[in-house]
Amino acid sequence: GQNIDQPTEMTATEGAIVQINCTYQTSGFNGLFWYQQHAGEAPTFLSYNVLDGLEEKGRFSSFLSRSKGYSYLLLKELQMKDSASYLCAVSDYGQNFVFGPGTRLSVLP
């Protein structure tokens, strides 16, 4: 079956670093995506990993280990505007997007 797990909620302080983990078990793997969703808004694309390793994009980095079915999103120099839900999604062999439940991140001053 399809299963993606993420922590439900996380809290961090402005200026800190936070790591949001995602583990997955899907019928095939064509890539892993991270999306950010602010309350009441649509998800917006953050990153895409298809090979093992770290992809860095400004303050955001995403890591993938296909053998472990594991990814994380690393957010550095946290800002208040980073308070949002972060969704992990896997594209499986059927080319469907399977989304995780999302991690609600609260950044405190």
Partner 1 sequence: KAGVTQTPRYLIKTRGQQVTLSCSPISGHRSVSWYQQTPGQGLQFLFEYFSETQRNKGNFPGRFSGRQFSNSRSEMNVSTLELGDSALYLCASATAGGVDTQYFGPGTRLTVL
Which residues lie near partner 1 (CB under 8 A)? 30-31, 33, 35, 41-45, 48, 50, 87, 89, 91, 94-102
Q: Which is nearer to partner 1, 9 or 14 (CB)?
A: 9
Q: Which is nearer to partner 1, 78 or 105 (CB)?
A: 105
Q: Which of 69, 95, 92, 73 is nearest to 82 (CA)?
A: 73
What is the 8-class DSSP label of residue 17?
A: -
Instruction: Tell me how far, at minimum, the Cβ of 91 lies from partner 1, in Å.
Output: 5
**Which DSSP helix (H) or strand (E) runs through 108?**
strand 103-108
